[in-house]
Structure 1
Amino acid sequence: MTTRRSVLKGTLSLMLAATAMTTLAPLGAVAKAPQIKSQAPGYYRIMLGDFEITALSDGTVKFPVESFYVGPKDEIAALLNKAFLESPVELSINAFLVNTNDRLVLIDSGSGGFFGPTLGKLVPNLVAAGYQPEQIDDVILTHAHVDHLGGLVAGEKIVFPNATVHLNQRDADFWLSSANRDAAPEAKKDFFSMAVQALAPYRDAGRLKTFADGTEPVPGFKTILRAGHTPGHSAVAIESKGQKLVFWGDITHGDVVQFDEPDVTIGFDEDPAAAASARDAAFAEAVKEGYLVAGAHTRFPGIGHVGTDSDNFDWVPLNYSATL
């Protein structure tokens, strides 16, 4: 039978219990958690037929728009503003690992230690993705700029000890030439020196191999010459079970300006007119055939399709999936 006395007794017990819990609780229990201020490992996987594709982030780097893009400044600023971007624009540097079940093939190698603390994250992200540098069989370079080959070395040490490095003959002839370096503007000389520094250990070990235009440096990896950005700039196409993916290197820098204005070039293009022409051809083919594209400087993970819109072309990122 419930009585007034029993209710008061029960209430008093609850109050004493609550007081005890409050007294015994750790003093820090009500403190706010500190901010972590770090990102998750930068890798993302998809399947292309029987092939496993892993996008690997080397990090991001900021470029001032006014000195990076070459074109109508007002139009470029308006396009960036429309996309809620402003100078300096933060660009991704991406590389891609293809597991064919028979071989592990890396497309580009990131910038290594050449460009500062926000970059050079490819190897840690490769390891986080479940692979080790010594497992890589081949590295196919889309071209010989330092943000694509710098990750081949750590200082003078080879990073991928069992890999063969493949580079278009045109780029090898151009970037490894001391005469070309001597003739280059002072601001560009370091690009030649860094290419030599990254490639020489592999060359000395007999594991730098060049390929001709339109050939397969690794069986099933067909190259497509898209010269202009560099003399031997090449896309790499793979197919499995009727699905196609093209790694197109530096056809674009970012996924805003050059899709609407393909004629806008960048200061690092060796032949700006040829680079713009190569971009038009790459866009048109990607739209016509509808294949997937992987870009070295589109927002990570950098995989998607090229579409069209009222302005010109359009970048359509791949829909995120938590499963394979």
Structure 2
Amino acid sequence: MTNRRTILKGTLSLMLTATAMTTLAPLGVAAKAPQVKTAAPGYYRMMLGDFEITALSDGTAKFPAETLYIGAKDQIAGMLERAFLDSPVELSINAFLVNTNERLVMIDAGTGDFFGPTLGKLIPNLVAAGYQPEQIDDIILTHAHVDHLGGLVAGDRIVFPNATVHLNSRDADFWLSAANRDTAPEAKRDLFSAAVKALTPYRNAGRLKTFLDGAEPVPGFKSTLRAGHTPGHSAIAVESKGQKLVFWGDITHGDVVQFDEPYVTIGFDEDQAAAASARDAAFAEAVEERYLVAGAHTRFPGIGHVRTDSDNFDWVPLNYSATL
């Protein structure tokens, strides 16, 4: 029978239970958690036939679009706005690792310690991806700018002790020339100094090899001269089981402006007209052959396709996959 006493006992029991639950609840449940403010390791892995491809982020850096790009000045702000970007525009610096099951080959080597804290992350991301610097057999440089070869050294120390570095002979002759450095504009002389600092230890060790236009610096890695950005700027292509991927270095900076306006160049191009022509040829070939492209400065992981659209060309990022 329900009476006043049983009702009171039930109410008391509920109160005691609630009090116990409150007492045992973790402290600070309602407290604000501090922001972590660190990103996940910057690598992305995919298969190309039997080859394992790993995109490696060296970080990002912001560049003022109004000084980076040359040409179409009145259109650049609108292009960026339509892509939900503005100036300074943040560009990725990417390198790529190819495991052929026989050799471990890296395309470009990041900035090393030549720039600020937002860059120079290649080695920790390489390690996070499951590899060590001493495992790299070959490093093929698309060209000899500091953001592609700075990571070869840390101070005066060789970072990749077992790797052979491969560079188109045109770039080696140009960037390692003291005479060229002395006659270069003051703003570009640091590019020569960085190339000398990064490449000389490998050359002294007998592990800097140059290659000619169209050669295979490593068997199965075919080069195509895309000169203009630098004299020896080269794309590197690999194929496995009918699948093709072209690492095209600095054909573009970003994935907006120069796809819409391929003739827009940048201040780092040694030959503006040749760079624009090389870009147009690279775009056209990528559209026609429908192969994958890996860009050093397209937003990470920098792998995708090129298609035509109403504004010349368009970048189509690779569909993300969590499986191999």
Place the TM-score, normalised by the shorter chain, in its bin. Answer: over 0.9
Cα offset, 1:6, TM superposition: 3.4
Structure 1: how far apart are the matches of 2:285 and 2:2?
83
Structure 2: how far apart are the matches of 1:5 and 1:222?
91
Matching residue of 1:250: 250
Letter in 1 for 2:47: M
User: Which string of whole-angstrom CA distances, capped at 9 and with x for unpartnered residues, describes residues 270-304 of structure 1?
Assistant: 00000000000000000000000000000000000
Letter in 2 for 1:44: Y
Structure 2: how far apart are the matches of 1:226 and 1:27?
62
Percent identity between the aligned chains? 84
Cα offset, 1:2, TM superposition: 5.7
Structure 2: how far apart are the matches of 1:57 and 1:5?
71
Matching residue of 1:311: 311
Structure 1: how far apart are the matches of 2:213 and 2:6?
92
Matching residue of 1:298: 298
Matching residue of 1:190: 190
**TM-score normalised by L of structure 1:** 0.98
Matching residue of 1:273: 273
Is 2:116 the counterpart of 1:116?
yes
Structure 2: how far apart are the matches of 1:276 and 1:104?
32
Segments of structure 2 that go 5 or more residues without pairing to the other structure are none
Structure 2: how far apart are the matches of 1:10 and 1:170?
90
Is 2:263 the counterpart of 1:263?
yes
Structure 1: how far apart are the matches of 2:10 and 2:302?
63
Structure 2: how far apart are the matches of 1:250 and 1:3?
85
Cα offset, 1:252, TM superposition: 0.2
Aligned length: 324
Secondary structure at the residue paired with 1:287?
A: helix
Segments of structure 1 that go 5 or more residues without pairing to the other structure are none
Indicate the larger mover: 250-259 or 14-23: 14-23
Cα offset, 1:25, TM superposition: 3.5
Letter in 1 for 2:264: V
C-alpha RMSD over aligned residues? 1.1
Cα offset, 1:133, TM superposition: 0.3
Matching residue of 1:53: 53
Structure 2: how far apart are the matches of 1:109 and 1:11?
71
**TM-score normalised by L of structure 2:** 0.98
Secondary structure at the residue paired with 2:28?
A: helix
Cα offset, 1:26, TM superposition: 4.3
After superposition, residues 78-97 of structure 1 pair within 5 angstroms as 78-97=78-97
Matching residue of 1:104: 104
